[in-house]
Amino acid sequence: MKYKTDWPEAQRRLTALWQGERLDRPCIAVRTPQAVAEPMPVPEPRDDEARWLDPVYRVALARRDLAATWWGGESIPSYLQMAGWVNCLGGTPRFAPDTIWFDTQAVDFEGPSPFRHDTDNPWARKYRTLLLALCREAGRDNFLIGSPLGLPANDLLSMHMGTAEFLFALVDHPEWMAEAILTGARDQLRMAQEMQALLRAQGHEYWYGNAGWMPFWAPQPYLATQSDVSCMLSPEMFDRFVVPELDVYGYAHDALWYHLDGGDARQHLPRLLSLPYLRVVQYVPAPCEPPNGPGHLEMYRQIQAAGRIVHVQVPVQHVEPLVRELDPALLMLDTWCPTRGEGEALLEQCMKWCRRT
């Protein structure tokens, strides 16, 4: 691979991780800055929409950032395309320099759900154009094209309706909301399958890596998902409104990578760990919590005790205690170092820490 010449070794280690096989160290993605021979020009986008969807700008940005990074250990050369959010079940996106939001809209609970995926929606067409441009840049072996950064139906409805209205509707119109989320989930699955087919037609393996957001590679198809709104749901409501959506994704792909967002969502971890298709849990602490590291060891152990992989982004100083305390066969760490030399030294140290456990 152009940006990672040791990719076959990374594949071997990530395959062992997926199979629960212990090697000489856990999987760890290490990224560092890397000097480039010549600066790569990146055109200024004309507006915030272009910042996320203009193929010329996004491809130039990806080319520059991929070349300016050393992809060490099990790091995966791919580039975040948050524009996948525009596949949003009919909502209207609003673009900011650092994120994408959606207009809120009123809902008629006497009629069918308006939150549906339309393949011919202008935003879906713009995203496909961007995706195909990235495919051309990736070629056969320059970098990985991962899955679009799509959102699940439960989170999308909370954005489109507004959080307060969404939560009230779960109580006041539970049957309508359950059906709307499930219908949206099936549409999001169909969208994902359409993207799979599009990328396969270009010669790319869609499921090998999330597109930049905590990249993860597996030797079989899987789907990445979440439920950020679940931090405001009781376990009973999570079971009624979110788990059926997870079933749609999980049974279609046989494996899920799940983003667990903050301490208020941790109440749902036992239910998540009961799901047979859940394979990986990735945790992001809330701002009021300690960063990923020793402060969350109990939760990591709970996940590993259920036979699931822990995938966390950690400051480099927290790598050692996690390597020493956790099962390396079910651990994927992601970190960054100031220099390549420090990154290479960290990988060597991980083998020593692992041998001492």
Residue 181 belongs to what H/E stretch?
Answer: helix 174-201
pLDDT for the residue numbered 82: 86
Which of 129-143, 187-201, 326-340 has maximum average pLDDT? 326-340
What one-letter code names the amino acid at 307?
G
pLDDT digits (tens, 9 = 90+) for 278-303: 999 999 999 999 999 999 999 999 99
pLDDT for the residue numbered 126: 95
203 pLDDT band (50/70/90 cuts)?
confident
- Structure token digits, residue 112: 């069918």
Contacts of 349 (CB under 8 A, 6+ apart): 320
205 pLDDT band (50/70/90 cuts)?
low
Distance CA(227)–CA(154), nearest Å, equals: 7
pLDDT for the residue numbered 104: 96
pLDDT for the residue numbered 79: 81
Q: Where do we find the tokens 């049957």?
A: 175
pLDDT for the residue numbered 206: 46
Quick check: 356 pLDDT over 70? no
Quick check: 355 pLDDT over 70? yes
pLDDT for the residue numbered 221: 82
Over range 64-68, report the average pLDDT.
Answer: 95
pLDDT digits (tens, 9 = 90+) for 15-51: 999 999 999 999 999 999 999 988 889 999 999 999 9
- Mark 245-284 as b/e (b = at least 16 C-beta within 10 Å): bbebbbebbebbbbbbbbeebbebbebbbebebbbbbbbb
Over range 319-344, report the average pLDDT.
Answer: 97
Over range 304-329, report the average pLDDT.
Answer: 97
pLDDT for the residue numbered 244: 98
Number of H-type helices and E-type strands within the chain? 13, 9
pLDDT for the residue numbered 80: 79
Closest CA to 181 of 106, 256, 108, 241: 241
Distance CA(88)–CA(83), nearest Å, equals: 10
What one-letter code names the amino acid at 142?
N
pLDDT digits (tens, 9 = 90+) for 138-179: 888 899 887 777 899 999 999 999 999 999 999 999 999 999
CATH architecture of 37-309: Alpha-Beta Barrel (3.20)
Distance CA(114)–CA(59), nearest Å, equals: 33
Closest CA to 280 of 205, 346, 195, 210: 210
Count of alpha carbons within 13 angstroms of residue 91, beta-carbon side: 27
Task: Tell me the sheet residues that pair with 332.
Answer: 27, 311
210 pLDDT band (50/70/90 cuts)?
low
- Structure token digits, residue 168: 């009230």
**Helix or strand or coil: residue 313?**
strand
What are the sequence ranges of the domains in the chain? 37-309
State the CB neighbour count (10 A cutoff) for residue 39: 8
Q: Where do we find the tokens 């059906």?
A: 179
pLDDT for the residue numbered 209: 60
Taking all residues of the chain, what is their mean pLDDT, rounded to a whole number?
93
When mean pLDDT is compared across 64-73, 99-108, 190-199, 307-316, the lowest value belongs to 190-199
Distance CA(151)–CA(288), nearest Å, equals: 25
Contacts of 88 (CB under 8 A, 6+ apart): 102, 123, 151, 156, 159, 160
Residue 70 belongs to what H/E stretch?
Answer: strand 69-73
Quick check: 352 pLDDT over 70? yes
222 pLDDT band (50/70/90 cuts)?
confident
Residues 65, 79 contacting (CB under 8 angstroms): yes
pLDDT for the residue numbered 208: 57
Residue 256 belongs to what H/E stretch?
Answer: strand 256-261
